[in-house]
Amino acid sequence: MGENADSVLEELKMREKEAREIRRREADWEFINSLPARLKLALVHYVETGDLYVSARIAGMPMEEFNELRIRARIPHVN
């Protein structure tokens, strides 16, 4: 990889780390921990990855419905 590609990659990694930290900090962990295991796992996956599609699949619900659950859990959508 070129020097420019390396710096772009590092920037992307830094942004994803910051987004993950924001999602972790803002999430309502009491609410998340009160949910059934499958929904809790899906929300934790979302907090860690920001991947709405895969998280909705883990939860076994449509993305729109999972997104409503994400909002109820106070997890911000940060990219």
- Burial class from Cβ neighbours inside 10 Å (0-12, 13-18, 19+) for residue 69 reads buried
Q: How far apart are CA 14 and CA 5, in angstroms?
A: 14
pTM of the entire predicted model: 0.89
pLDDT tens profile 12-69: 999 999 999 999 999 999 999 999 999 999 999 999 999 999 999 999 999 999 999 9
Is residue 1 very low, low, confident or very high in pLDDT (cuts 50, 70, 90)?
Answer: low
Spans of all domains in the chain: 3-72
Residue of 15, 64, 71 lying closest to 43 (CA atoms): 71
CA distances from 51 to 1, 5, 12, 19, 60 (A): 26, 24, 15, 12, 14
